Amino acid sequence: MLGIKEGQKLRTGVVAAPLVIFGAILLLGFFDQKAFHTLLWDFFLWLMKNFGWMLSLGCLSFVAFAIFLMIHPIGDIRLGGKDAKPEFSTWNWWAMSLCAGMAMGIVFWPAPEALKHTLAPAGGMFIEPGSQQAMLWAMRTSFLHWTFTPYSIYVVCGVMIAYAHYNLKKPFAVSSALYPLLGDRAFGKTATVVDGLTLFAIVGGVAGSLGYGMLQLGSGMDFLFGISPGPVIWTVICVLIVATYTTSSVTGLNNGIRWLSDKNAILFIALLIFAFIFGPTRFSLNLTVQATGDFVNNFISAMTLTDPFPEGDLWPQWWDMYWWADWLSFAPITGMFLARLCYGRTIREFLVVNLVLPAMFALVWFGIFGGLTLHTHFIEGTDLKTLMDTKGYEVLMLRLFDFLPLAEIIRPLMLFTIFVSFVTLADSMTSTVSILSIEDSTPQDRSTTEAPIAMKLFWGVLVGATSLVFMFIGGLDGIKVVKTIAGVPILFLEVAMLTGFLLFIVKQKRKRISPAYEVYESEEKAEVMN
């Protein structure tokens, strides 16, 4: 079944959760579109109104925990033990981390967020739409959504999984990160529930991101070649993307995924340098610097914006809290993927490469392209609002290159970057999901093995089919709703991981020995005995 090899077996209970849930969603979407839309929308509003504040507080705690790991001596712990040697160069490690984390998002959202938030800031902020204050607020809000908070959400899961697997010698699975809290109770039925929930969340998350990709590529086809997007075009794009990322995933981590991430990172840097040189450089730099100061000074108040009053417009729920749920839907599987890459590195190195560097890159990226967007609309006087309102968010990034040299060359390159960005994200997720779906009784390290090809194909097709349904029924709003629903349960899982790890540290401190050296001593004693 699904190419399962000798010594391996399908984790039926884990795989069943997303299959049952998304199978029911797919059937409802095909047979009763109105009920489908109403169900998703009502559930989304209920979640955001009642539990959105928990998302904000939880994600703020993850940022604080990441800072704690950076400055605490525990950051010196080497993942895999004191003699472990890294497998990947720092460049390859960073490139795979960046592309697995949010490659699709940073080619979609810089222009829409800068323009939309300037023209329609949160009602609870009492900022005049379109003002200079609104521009600064829009940029700082983009930084909030796309820099240190999302990567903190990822690294909490990544560090917990890596430490449990490499240093505590537990199975390579999301559920192993609960071992410091639950002990051996983290395995068995608990592992089935946790890993099943993880698969449900990531299928929703990746399907939503594929929806963004189809929207943007479809609009790009219309913009460049006059081919109007619709169900047929979206289906063709979806099939092409799914075929590409499953093929890449099949080639394995050391071939397809590393190669694609490397090329994708180079494309990002090339486009960023081009926009920096030929765009409104002085304006973008000044805006980025001032918005960064505003972002730092108001970080806690921005993270805790809830607008609780009856006349509120639900802006924090529809934007801030949605993004926190979105990142959470990716967190466990992204954490697993990041854990696969970090053997031989210290926890502090893990945080620098997987949090600090990609967050700083995202800040510069959003600053340059956000600055270009605002300069084009408000200072040069080109009406991007009408384009956004009529053609959608997805066309804005492509339109920006009309205001730079070599537009006829750069626009197709940007379209290709969009395609590669999603492929890079999806193949890393497909590969990791497939590993989580099987149980391997052979002694090799599961973090370095590859899942059966048929398993990768199965997950790739399921994600594509789910994304198409949401595209046909709900459009962009439908995509945002399903990603939110998928991500909310992961908040509780990640808080449990964090709590367990902190309790574990306290317990080890009482024994007057750090967790790292406890593992080192046990390994050394075992070597002596052998």
**d(C-alpha 137, C-alpha 121), whole Å:** 8
Q: Please, what is the Cα angle at 474 between 472 and 478, to 5 degrees?
A: 130
Q: Is the pLDDT of residue 520 over 70?
A: no
pLDDT band, residue 40 (cuts 50/70/90): confident
- E strand residue ranges, 121-257: none
Mean pLDDT value across residues 180-191:
91
Query: Could you tell me which residue, 427 or 42, shows the higher pLDDT?
Result: 42
Q: Is the pLDDT of residue 477 over 70?
A: no
Query: Could you tell me which residue, 218 or 521, shows the higher pLDDT?
Result: 218
Regarding pTM above 0.85, the answer is yes
**d(C-alpha 236, C-alpha 232), whole Å:** 6
So what's the pLDDT on residue 39?
75
pLDDT band, residue 11 (cuts 50/70/90): confident
Q: Which secondary structure element, helix H or strand E, spans residue 438, and what is its range?
A: strand 438-440
So what's the pLDDT on residue 301?
96
Task: Give tens-digit pLDDT for 478-519.
Answer: 656 766 777 888 999 999 999 999 898 888 777 755 444 444
* Lowest mean pLDDT segment, chosen from 146-160, 223-237, 478-492: 478-492
| Mean pLDDT for the chain overall | 84
Q: Is the pLDDT of residue 378 over 50?
A: yes
Q: Is 346 helix (H, G, I), strand (E, B) or coil?
A: strand
**d(C-alpha 471, C-alpha 486), whole Å:** 16
Mean pLDDT value across residues 323-329:
90
* Lowest mean pLDDT segment, chosen from 6-20, 111-125, 142-156: 6-20
Contact (Cβ atoms closer than 8 angstroms) between residue 268 and residue 417: yes
Q: Residue 447 has which token pair?
A: 């973090």
Contact (Cβ atoms closer than 8 angstroms) between residue 373 and residue 281: no
Mean pLDDT value across residues 363-385:
96
CATH topology of domain 8-523: Amino acid/polyamine transporter I (1.20.1740)
So what's the pLDDT on residue 478?
60
Report the percentage of the chain scoring pLDDT > 70.
87
So what's the pLDDT on residue 519?
47
Task: Give tens-digit pLDDT for 392-440.
Answer: 888 898 889 889 998 888 888 888 887 877 777 777 777 788 888 887 6
Q: Where are the domains of the chain?
A: 8-523
So what's the pLDDT on residue 487?
81
So what's the pLDDT on residue 353?
95
